[in-house]
């Protein structure tokens, strides 16, 4: 989630009103294309359809409308921008990437209606204070601070109305719009992504399920004094409202100004947690958003938030990932190829050069594992090299292939940690952390 500061927009609650939004978006994009085409013809140019579609005005139009729809419409854009990565045109990636930081709160009248519908009339009598200005807003809901009559400080996540009921239709409508626009390659099979977007969204929209994941993680990390997690208030939690104890902390990015040793310690904790999630818990919180981590300067503990995108991994898949990372660490191409094939990274009939390019990307991603001692993320060009390798593969239209879904979610999590490590300029002995589980 991001801090709420943008103007409030009512979330369309009915399927009809949401479909109308998408219809007006399609009309607006078409109108923009016509206007741009007329302008370029007047200048003596014969523009391509892609040039007309990908104007700055149309890009903003797409991002604005999906941001106002929130819910599934916004999330499918986020999933495509983060998961398909370099396998979609960079212009589309730029449009969709705007959605990751473009959530807008719902107006107070709509918020009150949601609270009354879930808690009943007179709900406010349970609270000493309830702040109607959200602390943060995201694609599925927004968070409010509250204090109960008993003095308990809470963070209350309230889901946008209509999100759960519109998931399947929103995902299909947005995907259809993107297909119709020509922005997505016809050869790119996004059906697995869309099916997974629907499944994940239904789970994320069930706050009772998220509360259960949070409670389970609290138990799994009960042996660690380095982490603190909110506690679910079961009495106030509903399927569309998640009430939790309020945990203080500052944005983890603020550690950029902290001492090197403290930055290194914090990221070492996060990478160690990732390996525990994969190999010990077989349960991974897959959302890489930096806002899901806070830092408490007083206790030096990390605060973990938002368990909606929690994913369980089967034991045999975990073992295959273990072999994949071990092979990448040793630069063993045969073992790397075997593990990648078992996990489904190679489509049937893949060309030998494409297969090797995929393996080279794995070797790049495992570079921190091969470093003797601490890997210096702050002075590494790893992210740029991985991006360039992915773009070379992605621009080859003969390759376009959607990786296995569970792998995409791990890619998101690992990529997010790499990005945070680079942002904080840390040095972490990744190889030593992995060897504890190899």
Extended beta strands in 52-185, E state: 127-130, 136-137, 141-148, 153-159
Closest by CA to 105, choosing from 2, 20, 19, 237, is 2
DSSP characters over 202-236: HHHT-HHHHHHHHHHHHHHTTT-TTEE---B-TTT
- Taken as a whole, the chain contains a residue count of 438
In whole angstroms, give the CA distance from residue 424 to residue 142.
27
Strands 2-3 and 127-130, bridge-based pairing: unpaired
Q: How far apart are CA 185 and CA 80, in angstroms?
A: 13
For 32, 75, 185, 321, the CA distances from 69, given in Å and listed in that order, are: 20, 10, 25, 37
Task: Count Cβ atoms below 10 Å from residue 42 Cβ, excluding itself.
Answer: 8
Active site residue 296: no
**From CA 205, how far away is CA 197, in angstroms rounded?**
12
Among candidate residues 83, 102, 233, 287, the one labeled active-site is 287
Instruction: Please choose, from the candidates 350, 403, 409, 411, the residue with its C-alpha nearest in 3D space to the C-alpha of residue 386.
Output: 411
In the block, which residue shows the tokens 């370029």? Answer: 40
Catalytic (active-site) positions? 287
């Amino acid at each position: 989630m991001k801090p709420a500061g943008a103007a409030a927009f009512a979330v369309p609650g009915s399927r009809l009103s949401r479909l109308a939004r998408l219809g007006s978006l399609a009309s607006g994009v078409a109108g923009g294309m016509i206007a741009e085409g007329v302008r370029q013809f007047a200048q003596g140019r014969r523009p391509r359809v892609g040039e007309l579609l990908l104007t700055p005005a149309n890009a903003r139009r797409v991002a604005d409308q999906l941001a106002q729809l929130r819910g599934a419409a916004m999330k499918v854009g986020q999933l495509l921008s983060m998961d398909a990565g370099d396998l979609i045109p960079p212009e589309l990636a730029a449009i969709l990437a705007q959605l990751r930081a473009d959530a807008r709160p719902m107006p107070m009248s709509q918020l009150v209606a949601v609270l009354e519908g879930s808690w009943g009339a007179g709900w406010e009598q349970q609270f000493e204070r309830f702040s109607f200005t959200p602390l943060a807003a995201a694609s599925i809901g927004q968070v409010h601070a509250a204090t109960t009559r008993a003095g308990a400080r809470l963070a209350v996540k309230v889901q946008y109305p209509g999100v759960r009921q519109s998931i399947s239709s929103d995902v299909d409508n947005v995907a259809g719009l993107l297909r119709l626009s020509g922005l997505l390659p016809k050869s790119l099979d996004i059906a697995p992504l869309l099916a997974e977007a629907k499944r994940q969204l239904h789970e994320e929209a069930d706050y009772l399920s998220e509360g259960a994941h949070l409670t389970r993680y609290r138990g799994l990390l009960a042996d660690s004094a380095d982490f603190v997690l909110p506690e679910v208030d079961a009495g106030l939690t509903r399927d569309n409202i998640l009430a939790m104890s309020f945990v203080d902390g500052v944005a983890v990015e603020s550690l950029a100004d902290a001492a090197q040793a403290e930055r290194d310690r914090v990221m070492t904790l996060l990478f160690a947690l990732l390996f525990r999630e994969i190999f010990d818990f077989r349960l991974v919180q897959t959302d890489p958003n930096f806002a899901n981590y806070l830092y408490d300067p007083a206790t030096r503990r990390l605060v973990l938030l938002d368990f909606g995108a929690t994913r369980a991994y089967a034991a045999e898949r975990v073992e295959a990932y273990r072999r994949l990372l071990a092979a990448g660490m040793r630069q063993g191409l045969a073992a790397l190829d075997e593990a990648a094939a078992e996990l489904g990274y190679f489509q049937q009939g893949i060309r030998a050069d494409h297969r090797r390019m995929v393996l080279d990307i794995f070797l790049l991603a495992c570079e921190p594992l091969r470093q003797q001692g601490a890997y210096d993320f702050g002075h590494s060009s790893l992210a740029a090299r991985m991006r360039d390798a992915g773009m070379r593969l992605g621009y080859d239209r003969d390759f376009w292939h959607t990786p296995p879904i569970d792998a995409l979610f791990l890619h998101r999590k690992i990529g997010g940690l790499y990005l945070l490590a680079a942002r904080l300029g840390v040095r972490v002995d990744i190889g030593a952390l992995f060897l504890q589980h190899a």
